[in-house]
């Protein structure tokens, strides 16, 4: 596997906020593989911090094992023929199964759940998987764009025309999610795959940020402090806390420093020779 460590710059930050007494968010990454994961244990559910921790660790382990298997299958390829989007989907399905089984078998964890957003960089592309209202944004050429769509009652009302997006940002009933890991035996995972260009920046965040800070403020912060991912992350968390800090807040920022094409392995070179 070609390491993406020097091709993707990233920071991961999480904070308890001003109101909660403990942090139910979890973040994690495998920098060499280009994997970043953020989970938000469900507020109002039991043992949310357990659910988010299981989610992040399970996804990281599943993806790591998948990359290792592909490397063994073709050691000259950068994760070979691994279909990273499907790997992310299966990793999250595995996390859901473990969380659900844990909730069923341990009384202290009954009813726990978590949202999740995960992304995997590979071959100048980004695979994205998410469940719930943790989000992924892209910043390209100075423009902030929300890539994921929330699995929430409010988003459904927006989709059906009951609210405009501007009205939704001012609504008070923003936290009712319609999908989460661990609540049911299976979870429906939304998937996407997008192109990555050099200097593209990606923001993964829990709703502790987006409930406190609107997109315009996020965009202004990213633009103002664009030279430093760490400062952007610190400022976003500070803004959330300055606006009340009612929830835990977590952010992952990742910027593509240069192109990262996959190395063509034996099978890939054979296909090129044969014209496939």
pLDDT in tens, 126-169: 999 999 999 999 999 999 999 999 987 666 655 666 566 665 56
Q: What CA–CA distance (Å, rounded) separates 66 from 84?
A: 9
Q: Where are the alpha helices (DSSP H) in the chain?
A: 48-73, 84-105, 153-159, 165-170, 207-210, 215-224, 229-242, 266-274
- What kind of architecture, by CATH, is found in domain 8-149+183-274? 4-Layer Sandwich (3.60)
Q: What CA–CA distance (Å, rounded) separates 89 from 78?
A: 20
Of 11-15, 132-136, 163-167, 232-236, which gets the smallest average pLDDT? 163-167
In three-state secondary structure terms, 154 is: helix
Residue 172: pLDDT band (50, 70, 90) is: low
Q: Are 264 and 272 in contact (CB under 8 A)?
A: yes
Q: What CA–CA distance (Å, rounded) separates 109 from 107?
A: 5
pTM (2 d.p.): 0.88
Q: What CA–CA distance (Å, rounded) separates 252 from 210?
A: 13
Q: What is the pLDDT of residues 19-73, one digit of tens each?
A: 998 999 999 999 999 999 999 998 555 689 999 999 999 999 999 998 888 766 6
Which two structure tokens, joined as six digits, stand for 63? 């993806």
Q: Are 38 and 7 in contact (CB under 8 A)?
A: no
Pick 262 or 236 by higher pLDDT.
236
Residue 84: pLDDT band (50, 70, 90) is: confident
Mean pLDDT of 186-194: 95
**Angle of helix 48-73 versus helix 84-105 axis, rounded to 10:** 140
Residue 198: pLDDT band (50, 70, 90) is: very high
In three-state secondary structure terms, 125 is: strand
Q: Are 92 and 131 in contact (CB under 8 A)?
A: yes
Q: Give me the residue spans of the domains in the chain.
A: 8-149+183-274
% pLDDT > 90, the chain: 71
The mean predicted confidence, pLDDT, of the chain is: 87
């Amino acid at each position: 596997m070609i390491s993406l460590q020097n091709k993707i710059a990233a920071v991961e930050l999480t904070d308890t906020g001003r109101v909660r007494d403990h942090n139910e968010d979890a973040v994690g990454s495998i920098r060499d593989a280009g994997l970043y994961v953020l989970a938000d244990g469900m507020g109002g559910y039991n043992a949310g911090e357990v659910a988010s921790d299981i989610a992040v660790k399970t996804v990281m382990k599943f993806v790591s094992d998948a990359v290792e298997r592909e490397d063994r299958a073709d050691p000259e390829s950068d994760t070979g023929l691994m279909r990273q989007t499907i790997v992310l989907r299966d990793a999250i399905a595995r996390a859901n199964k473990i969380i659900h089984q844990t909730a069923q078998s341990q009384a202290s964890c009954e009813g726990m759940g978590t949202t999740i957003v995960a992304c995997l960089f590979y071959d100048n592309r980004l695979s994205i998987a998410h469940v719930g209202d943790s989000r992924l944004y892209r910043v390209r050429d100075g423009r902030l764009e929300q890539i994921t769509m929330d699995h929430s009652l409010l988003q459904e009302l927006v989709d059906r025309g009951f609210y405009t997006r501007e009205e939704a940002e001012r609504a008070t009933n923003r936290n009712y999610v319609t999908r989460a890991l661990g609540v049911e035996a299976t979870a429906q995972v939304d998937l996407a795959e997008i192109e990555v260009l050099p200097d593209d920046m990606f923001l993964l965040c829990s709703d502790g940020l987006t409930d406190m800070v609107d997109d315009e403020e996020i965009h202004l912060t990213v633009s103002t402090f664009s030279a430093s991912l760490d400062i952007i992350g610190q400022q976003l968390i500070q803004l959330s806390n300055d606006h009340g800090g009612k929830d835990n807040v977590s952010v992952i920022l990742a910027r593509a420093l240069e192109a990262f094409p996959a190395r063509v392995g034996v099978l890939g070179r054979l296909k090129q020779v044969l014209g496939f």
